[in-house]
Amino acid sequence: MSDDIKMVDIYVMGKRYTVPETLTIMDGMEYAGYQLKRGCGCRAGFCGACATVYRMAGDYELKVGLACQTKVEDGMYLAQIPFFPGRKATFDLEEIKPSVAHFAQLYPEVYRCLGCSSCTKVCPQDIDVMQYIAYIQRGDFEKAADLSFDCLMCGLCVSRCPANIVHYNAALTARRLYSRYVAKPDAYLAERTRAIEEGKLDAEIDELVRSEVDKLKELYANRDIE
């Protein structure tokens, strides 16, 4: 370890560890000797599995973040969240409609939003969470679906909401309503689905299955995006 790198003290389960300040919380825990088998996911800010609660020494305010993105700080006390217990409404997509009335039956708390923007401020994806909740309130599920598309469902927005809104589940429902009832059918998708069902793409699919990971990454990076 370079002498130029500053070391900081963090606390995991109340035990102190000294780690380089350049590390993320996840890397810092591993540097301290922890073997992470759960709550580590993609390690790149895409899956939302590593939601973490922490506070700083002398400060009683609870802070939250993704362990793979948040850098360690001196005097940081850590506790990981195995999952966030957000309520998820149960429904049959064929029996509900894209209307404010139906949505209010599923997630009435959405209409208690105080407009405090705490959800937006805490989002690790920089999504304007409060805005897509506003779109849902108005029944504009197309805009809500578009704005919430990059949601990781990590639950950090819920941890900050004074109205107890489960934003990520509400957004998922909005996207499903948009896809089922609002979005126009895609002719190209229907064509490709038929081709798969008729076996016309079996050779291409078999080739992809046999491909190395680097080849798949190259194909993905150079794909055509409409």
**pLDDT band of 220, cuts 50, 70, 90:** confident
Segments of the chain assigned E as strands: 7-12, 15-20, 51-56, 63-66, 76-80
The pLDDT assigned to 38 comes to: 77
- What count of Cα atoms within 13 Å lies in the side-chain half-sphere of residue 126? 1
The pLDDT assigned to 84 comes to: 65
What domains, with CATH codes, occur in the chain? 7-80 (3.10.20.740), 100-182 (1.10.1060.10), 189-221 (no CATH)
Is pLDDT of 1 > 60? Answer: no
115 vs 15: CA distance, rounded Å: 39
Is pLDDT of 34 > 60? Answer: yes
Q: What is the mean pLDDT of residues 151-179?
A: 92
Mean pLDDT of the chain: 90
The pLDDT assigned to 2 comes to: 57
Q: Which of 50-64, 65-79, 141-155 has the lowest mean pLDDT?
A: 50-64
The DSSP symbol for 110 reads G
Angle between helix 129-138 and helix 167-177 axes, rounded to 10 deg? 50
Strand (E) or helix (H) holding 88 = none
The pLDDT assigned to 167 comes to: 96
Of residues 45, 93, 52, 87, the one with CA closest to residue 69: 45
Q: Could you read off the pLDDT of 187-208 as tens digits, one per residue?
A: 888 899 999 999 999 999 999 9
| Selected residue with higher pLDDT from 185 and 196 | 196
In the block, tokens 């949601």 appear at 151
**pLDDT band of 110, cuts 50, 70, 90:** very high
